[in-house]
């Protein structure tokens, strides 16, 4: 079995690329929330796809309560 690159390495590479595209530190004053949203949306989509749309199973896999998942899906317009 081949070695896998850890997820955090992929995320770090994407963040470096994003920061490299900024003109300065002030361009993205809300970087934490932007990064969180940009990570959570595809994470939820792919986990739900993996769980065949079953929100209870997806929430368990994510380690969050189903109500939390449902709220975040609504907040992101994914519900």
pTM of the predicted protein model = 0.79
> By 3-state DSSP, what share of the chain in percent is helix, strand and coil, each rounded to 5?
65, 0, 35
CA dist., res. 38 & res. 1, Å (int): 30
Structural domains of the chain, ranges and CATH numbers in brackets: 7-75 (1.10.10.60)
Segment 35-51 shows an average pLDDT of 96
**Distance between CA 52 and CA 33 in Å, rounded?**
28
- The average pLDDT across 29-36 equals 86
């Amino acid at each position: 079995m081949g070695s896998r690159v850890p997820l955090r390495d992929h995320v770090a590479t994407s963040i470096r690329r994003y920061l490299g595209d900024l003109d300065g530190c002030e361009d993205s004053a809300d970087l934490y929330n932007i990064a969180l949203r940009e990570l959570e949306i595809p994470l939820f989509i792919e986990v739900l796809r993996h769980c065949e749309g079953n929100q209870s199973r997806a929430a368990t896999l994510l380690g969050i309560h189903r109500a939390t998942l449902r709220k975040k899906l609504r907040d992101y317009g994914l519900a």
